[in-house]
Amino acid sequence: MQRREFLVAGGALAASLSLPARAAYPDRPVRLYIPFPPGGESDIGARLQQGVFKKITGQDMVVESKPGAGGALAWSQLNSMPGDGYSVMGTNLPHLVLQPLEGNVQYKTDDIVNVHFYQYTPDAIIVRNESPFKTYQDLVKGAKEQQDRITFAGSGTNSANHLAHTRLNKLMGAKTTYVPFKGTGDLVASLLGGHVSAAMSYNTLALAQKGKVRVLAVASEKRLALFPDVPTFKELGGDWVDGAYRGCGVPKSTPEDIRKRVSDVFSSINKDPDFRQKMAEGGFELIDVTYDKIPAFLAERKQAYIEAAKLMGLAK
């Protein structure tokens, strides 16, 4: 295992070292389309990558936001872009799986060629400081007693937060109410003002509101460095490691070697110490799912999402 990781890291390092010699790609600015509005997590991540991209490749990475339909607008246009490696688009899970299940969108999950997944933000249950729920156990007890009077704010309908809430209900054995908001920024005021009981969101929200909110549980593999006291769902008896995954994809017509090159570049960006520190401060957990590991990773994620989507009544 260690050997394998060493090899992957070594390969990426070699690739980054050999870049000047192999001037084939990239030899002009690369455009990274972000399917969400500026200021969101995907946009912030991309803009932090921008500087490191230039440092590693010597070329600019232009971030262009193409927001619309929760990302679906851009993703349905991805395959009509030139497949030369200079058009790269941010991709997100579970969006890519959930949206086609729901219908309404003009792409299929398998249409999108993902080349790398580089970060994720784990699901987290967040309450405000004044909340009577001190621990996850308190919340479960309250939810069982009060059922739909317990309300969870989340971003969007049939979204990652919605899916997480469905899972949570099953885990708690309760029927709490999900209250959708337009975005994470919108729900903060309702959470802090006590208009909802809790928020089903990501650890990033808790970080942004540190001192005003408590995290009851996170859906990460291990406890988070920034929240060492917060238990994971795994510890609490649920098989739940999930969140919003961010990566990038290219048009279908992009040749194999370019796909690998793109993956290598983003892999090396993730290794930059300064970048790592900034991402950690922002609450992003870095992962390194390279192009060769994508099929297995996607298969595993897809299965988890489809199971949860069945609970929501989205998929049969």
Partner 1 sequence: MELLSNLQLGFGVALAGTNILYCFIGVLLGTLIGVLPGIGPVATIAMLLPATFVLPPVSALIMLAGIYYGASYGGSTTAILVNLPGEVSSVVTCLDGHQMAKQGHAGKALGVAALGSFFAGTVATLLVAAFAPPLAELALKFGPADYFSLMVLGLLAAVVLAHGSLIKAVAMIILGLLVGLIGTDVNSGVARYNFGLPELIDGVGIGPIAMGVFGFGEIIRNLEHGQKREVVSSRVTGLLPNWEDIKQSTWPTIRGTLLGSFLGILPGGGPILGSFSAYTLEKKLAKDPSRFGKGAIEGVAAPESANNAAAQTSFIPLLTLGIPSNPVMALMIGAMIIHGIQPGPQIMTAKPDLFWGMIASMWVGNFLLVVLNLPLIGMWVKLLSLEYRFLYPAILLFCCIGVYSINNAWMDVLLAAGFGFIGYLFGKLDCEAAPLLLGFVLGPMMEENLRRALLLSRGDPAVFVTRPISATLLVISVILLVIVLLPAIRQKREEAFVEEG
Partner 2 sequence: MKHLIKNPRDFWAGVMFFTLGALFAGVGFTYKIGTAARMGPGYFPLVLGLMLAAFGLAISLLAMREKNAGPVVEKFHWNVTFWVLFPIIIFGVGLKIMGMIFMGLMVVIVSSIASEQFKLRPVILLAIGLVIFCSIIFVGGLKLPIPLCPAFGVFEQLAACRV
Contact stretch for partner 2 (CB under 8 A) within 28-36, 47-55, 108-116, 220-228: 28-36
Q: How many CB atoms lie within 10 A of CB 119?
A: 23
Alpha carbons within 13 angstroms on the beta-carbon side of residue 305 total 27
The nearest distance, CB 303 to partner 2, in angstroms, is 30
For the chain, how are helix, strand and coil distributed in percent, rounded to 5? 45, 20, 30
156 is a site residue for partner 2 (CB under 8 A): no
| Residue 11, binding choice from partner 2, partner 1, none, Cβ under 5 to 8 Å by partner class | none
The mark string for 211-250 relative to partner 1 (x by CB under 8 A, - otherwise) is xx--------------------------------------
Least Cα distance to 18 among 70, 75, 56, 67 occurs for 56
Residue 29 interaction partner, one of partner 2, partner 1, none, beta carbon < 5-8 Å per kind = partner 2
Residues within window 36-55 making contact with partner 2, judged by CB under 8 A: none
* Residue 285 zone, left/alpha/beta (φ > 0; ψ -120 to 50; rest): beta
Closest distance to partner 1 from the beta carbon of 70 (Å): 8
- Binding partner of residue 31 among partner 2, partner 1, none, CB under 5 to 8 Å per kind? partner 2
> What is each CA distance from 244 to 26, 95, 263, in whole angstroms?
29, 8, 19
Residue number, 65 or 184, with CB nearest to partner 2: 65
For residue 26, cis peptide bond before it (omega within 30 degrees of 0): yes
- Which range binds partner 1 by CB under 8 A, 58-66, 214-222, 255-263, 296-304? 58-66
Q: For residues 264 and 250, what is the distance between their CA atoms, to the nearest angstrom?
A: 14
